[in-house]
Amino acid sequence: MNCYSCESFSLKPVKLDYGLPARECHKCKGVHIDLLSYRSWREDYAGKLETAMKNTTDTKVEQVTATDNKKALICKRCSKFMLKYKVSTEHDNFVDICTSCDDAWLDGGEWQLLKQLQLAGKLTHITTEPWQRNIRAEAVEKTFQQSYQSKLGDVDFNKLQDMCTWIEQHPEKQELLKYMRITFAN
C-alpha cells in the first residue's frame, strides 16, 4: 500500500507507542492506523501513554513540528475521499479518516502532537460532532477575545480579563453583576 500523502512511496509496518501497529512512510513520516487495532490498543495502553507523557521531561517532545497536508486525501483501500477532522483550536492539524474502511491517516509529526496534547487515546473522539462543535465554539471565543484585545490594548484587556475571572469565581457573582447593572444603568 502506498503513502496516502506523497503517494509514490510504499508504507512499511511499524509499531508506535506501546506496540500500536501502524504503517509509516519513510519519506514524509505520515502514519496509517487501522482504527480497529487502535481501539483494542487504547483499552490497554492509552492510559499508560498518558501517564508517561505527563511525567516526561524530554524537551524534544515540547518542540513537535507537525506537518499537515491540506489536500483532500483519497483512501488507498476503497478510493473514496477521506474526511478531515481538526485536532484542536490552537493547531492547524487535521486527522484524515476513511469511515468506510475505519482507517486514519496522520501526517508526519501528528502522532507526536496528539501525544503532547494528551489526545493519543482520543483519536476516535476527535471525529465526533460534539468535539468538532467545541473546537468551533473555542475558535469563535478566541476571535472575540482577540478583537477586544486589539481594541483595548494589552494592559486594559488584561485588567478586564482579571476582573471577569474575579467575578466568575466569586460566590456572590449574581450580586456583583446586579451592582454593576445598576451602577452603569444611566
Compare residues 83 and 160 and give the one whose CB is closer to Zn ion. 83
CA distance 10 to 2: 4
| H/E segment holding residue 163 | helix 154-169
> Considering the complex, what minimum distance in angstroms separates the CB of residue 27 from Zn ion?
5
Query: What one-letter code names the amino acid at 119?
Result: L
100 near 79, Cβ under 8 Å?
Answer: no
> Alpha helix locations (H) across 78-153?
110-116, 123-126, 129-152
Residues of the shown chain interacting with Zn ion in the complex, contacts defined by CB under 5 A: 3, 5-6, 25, 27-28, 30, 75, 77-78, 98, 100-101
Compare residues 80 and 133 and give the one whose CB is closer to Zn ion. 80
> Considering the complex, what minimum distance in angstroms separates the CB of residue 74 from Zn ion?
9
Compare residues 3 and 46 and give the one whose CB is closer to Zn ion. 3
Strands 103-106 and 94-98: antiparallel
> Considering the complex, what minimum distance in angstroms separates the CB of residue 3 from Zn ion?
3
160 near 168, Cβ under 8 Å?
Answer: no
CA distance 38 to 46: 10
The alpha carbon of 158 is separated from its chain's Cα centroid by a whole number of angstroms, namely: 27
- The label of the residue with cell 511525567 reads 55
Compare residues 46 and 104 and give the one whose CB is closer to Zn ion. 104
Query: What one-letter code names the amino acid at 25?
Result: C
> Considering the complex, what minimum distance in angstroms separates the CB of residue 78 from Zn ion?
3
> Considering the complex, what minimum distance in angstroms separates the CB of residue 114 from Zn ion?
18
Compare residues 74 and 160 and give the one whose CB is closer to Zn ion. 74
Compare residues 25 and 104 and give the one whose CB is closer to Zn ion. 25
CA distance 160 to 4: 47
> Considering the complex, what minimum distance in angstroms separates the CB of residue 75 from Zn ion?
3
